[in-house]
Amino acid sequence: MNKNGMLVVISGFSGVGKGTAVKKLVEKYDYSLSVSATTRAPRPGEVDGVDYHFKTVEEFEQLIDYNGFIEWAQYVENYYGTPKKFVEDELSKGKNVILEIEVQGAMHIKEQYPDAVLIFITAPDAATLKERLFGRGTEDEKVIAKRLKRAYEETDDMSCYDYLVVNDDLDTCVDDIHSVICAENFKSSRNTDYMKNMKEELATIRSGM
Ligand code: ADP
Ligand code: 5GP
């Protein structure tokens, strides 16, 4: 069946748990995870080259000029971008590539890669989202307020996504994301080569009877 690599975009409100879910997803299943570049400061425990490629504003702007990103965006005062080379290399190997990016970036990806699958991770309710953002303890109240404002704006973009997945129980969320990707792979529109080959093989068998 489908041997072509698929681009899977995962977005979601800040603090909804998409980073946590994506980490588990790539531990449990065979996906290639794109590591983004950002000008945001590392959070405690974040490792350069693993969680993000941490860049200065100058370095990031140079990468934009050199056409090094397949998409980039500004989000709450920082730059974030998806390095082009990794994604193109993995897709050409037939791997399914996960991009964990925000909404503006997701829309740019959809323009360039119409076959990309867009998944939006959401919370059971807004109070849970707020609790998780505060519970993470990595941003002060002012930044949390900005991220919640952005979340409010992003509710209008949810309908642009192909799938909504609720992160209530983490393991269920991870398996739901995997199920969506599997179902996408089984779509007849992604398996035109298989159908063509089957027809040719049957024609050969019939002609020999
Ligand atoms: P995001 O990447 O979406 O900004 P994180 O992955 O950093 O969010 O998660 C935000 C906080 O929510 C973290 O403290 C994380 O441990 C917690 N969290 C994630 N998923 C769940 C879940 N299903 N139930 C409870 N807490 C969760
Ligand atoms: P955080 O600062 O919480 O790690 O990320 C903030 C937002 O930036 C999240 O919504 C995250 O998905 C998004 N993001 C991370 N990497 C990229 C990227 O390469 N491109 C875009 N457009 N957004 C990204």
> Average pLDDT for consecutive 10-residue bins of the chain (209 residues)?
88 96 97 98 95 98 97 94 97 96 96 96 97 92 93 96 98 98 94 95 96
Pocket test for ligand 2, best of 75, 147, 158 (most atoms within 8 A of CB): 75
Query: What is the pTM (predicted TM-score) of this model?
Result: 0.95
pLDDT at res. 4: 80
Distance CA 155, CA 174 (A): 22
Task: Estimate the share of the chain in helix, then strand, then coil, as percent rounded to the nearest 5.
Answer: 50, 20, 30
Task: Tell me how far apart the terminal alpha carbons of the chain are, to the nearest angstrom.
Answer: 27
With tokens 């505060």, the residue in question is: 134
pLDDT at res. 203: 97
pLDDT at res. 53: 98
Specify the length of the chain in residues.
Answer: 209
Locate 183 and state its tokens.
């179902």
Distance CA 36, CA 73 (A): 11
- Residue 17: name the closest of 123, 90, 115, 93 by CA: 123
Strand partners, 37: 53, 81
pLDDT at res. 3: 78
With tokens 């990016």, the residue in question is: 101
Q: Residue 100 CA: which ligand 1 atom is closest?
A: 2
Distance CA 106, CA 10 (A): 8
Q: Which amino acid is at 206?
A: R
Q: Residue 76 CA: which ligand 2 atom is closest?
A: 6
Q: Residue 135 CA: which ligand 1 atom is closest?
A: 14
Locate 110 and state its tokens.
């959809």
pLDDT at res. 1: 76
